[in-house]
Amino acid sequence: MSKIPSVTTLTRFCALSLACILWVASAETGRAQSPFEGGWSLQPTMSNLRFQSVKKQTVVESSSFASLQGSIDDQGTALVTVLLDSVDTNVDLRNVRMRFLFFETFKFPEARIVARIDPAQLADLPTRRRKTIPVSYVIDLHGVQKAYESEVIVTLLSDDMVSVASDAPISVAVSDFNLLEGLQKLQEAANVDIIPSATISFDWVFARDTTTATPAPSPVTPSSVALETQGNFDAEACKGRFEILSRTGNIYFTSGSARLQDESAPLLDSLADIVLRCPDMMIEVGGHTDSVGGEAQNQRLSQSRAASVTEYLLGKGLGKGTMVSKGYGELSPIASNDTSEGRLKNRRIEFKVLEN
């Protein structure tokens, strides 16, 4: 029987070979080195994640996310984090609708995809350079985790860089992630019908952490990645944002009172930032109720709730001259007061820019 070469000899022999990426035999332990040894990092500028939606039955729209972070550890566990505020539909106010009405990024700023890649499936990648493998993964979105299985295409781009891409579009139902209510708000705001599912495709490029490839970005505040004008907004952008924020329904009060509940804070904090970026504009905070109870009582309650929201926003450093509160009582319903769903919609806070 021939003598087994030492690990050092094998390593030198393979130094210039692509096989070194995935397979270096160990005579002493009989163990194969993991292709993910040392870890890999996602290269954001070379990667993409897209989703396609259909409106009006036939109109297909393709959108993407501008901010991705990810890694693959030594054992082949891949994690990709999507900052949802970076959604890019190529239209400013459409981005805002997606963020606040559909994804509710003020409560759920990130989506995560976690996958386990079996190193043995990639043992022959250095010679094949490109192959399709099955992968099991979990999508964590909008507070819901759901498991999927798909085939992905793995392509060896260089000794230290690999692409992992979807083999075919992945269908995701809106209902799987408790997003049906958000979809309804999106349809009402855009006045259009949208099919309640989307298809997702991706192409992610990873580089060895031991190389000089572009390093993974430092952690950022989710809202800071939003694709919008830096600094102050113009009048049109401000009006559009306040109209969208009025549709969220994420401002909560204790029943029958004007006391804000803690769950209101994420949206109101986001709204305060927008008010700050709309200088020299007077913002009306309008309170509305359903028709349950006396008209005078509802008028007082709507005024008190509007004042509570205004007080909260002023506490975030906004100038007193930037907002005014007004109660409308039950006089401006947007739905029927004959159903519980309609009454819920009528109990609301609206925001608008007052004309000079």
For the chain, domains (ranges, CATH) are 1-33 (no CATH), 34-223 (2.40.128.110), 229-354 (3.30.1330.60)
**Which pLDDT score, from 0 to 100, does residue 75 have?**
87
Average pLDDT over residues 299-312: 97
Q: How far apart are CA 102 and CA 196, in angstroms?
A: 12
Name the token pair of 264: 């209101």
**Quick one: average pLDDT of 137-160?**
95
Tell me the C-alpha distance between 105 and 8, whole Å. 52
Q: How would residue 321 be classed by pLDDT, with cut points 50, 70 and 90?
A: confident
Q: Where are the alpha helices (DSSP H) in the chain?
A: 7-13, 92-97, 125-128, 180-190, 235-245, 265-276, 295-314, 340-346
Strands (E), the chain: 40-42, 48-55, 59-65, 68-72, 77-83, 87-88, 110-116, 130-141, 144-158, 161-166, 170-173, 197-208, 282-288, 323-327, 348-354
- Nearest CA-CA partner of 289 in 264, 314, 253: 253
**74 band by pLDDT with thresholds 50, 70 and 90:** confident
> What is d(CA 162, CA 182) in angstroms, rounded to the nearest whole number?
36
- What pTM was estimated for this model as a whole? 0.87
List the one residue out of 172, 145, 146 whose CA is nearest residue 53.
Answer: 172
Q: How far apart are CA 306 and CA 251, in angstroms?
A: 11
Distance CA 257, CA 302 (A): 9
pLDDT of residue 36: 82
Tokens 């997702």 sit on residue: 200
Those residues whose C-beta lies under 8 Å from the C-beta of residue 218, and which sit 6 or more positions away, are: none
Nearest Cα to Cα of residue 50 among 37, 32, 68 = 68
Three-state DSSP class for residue 253: strand
Does residue 4 surpass a pLDDT of 50? no
CA distances from 137 to 116, 147, 288, 300, 327 (A): 7, 6, 44, 52, 49
What's the mean pLDDT in 325-333? Answer: 96
pLDDT exceeds 50 at position 51: yes
- Provide the residue type at 170 as one letter: I
Which positions ≥6 away from 300 have C-beta within 8 Å?
327
Q: Which residue has the higher pLDDT, 219 or 318?
A: 318
What number of other Cβ atoms are within 10 A of residue 42's Cβ?
A: 23
**pLDDT of the residue at 28:** 36
pLDDT at 22 over 50: no
Cite the beta strand spans of 84-119 per DSSP E: 87-88, 110-116
Nearest to 286 by CA among 342, 229, 340, 331: 331
User: Which residues are registered as beta bridge partners of 59?
Assistant: 55
C-alpha angle 107-111-116 in degrees, rounded to nearest 5: 145
**270, 223 in Cβ contact below 8 A?**
yes
Q: H-type helices in 137-190, by residue range?
A: 180-190
Residue 176 one-letter amino acid:
D
DSSP annotation of 194 reads B
DSSP conformational letter for 136: E
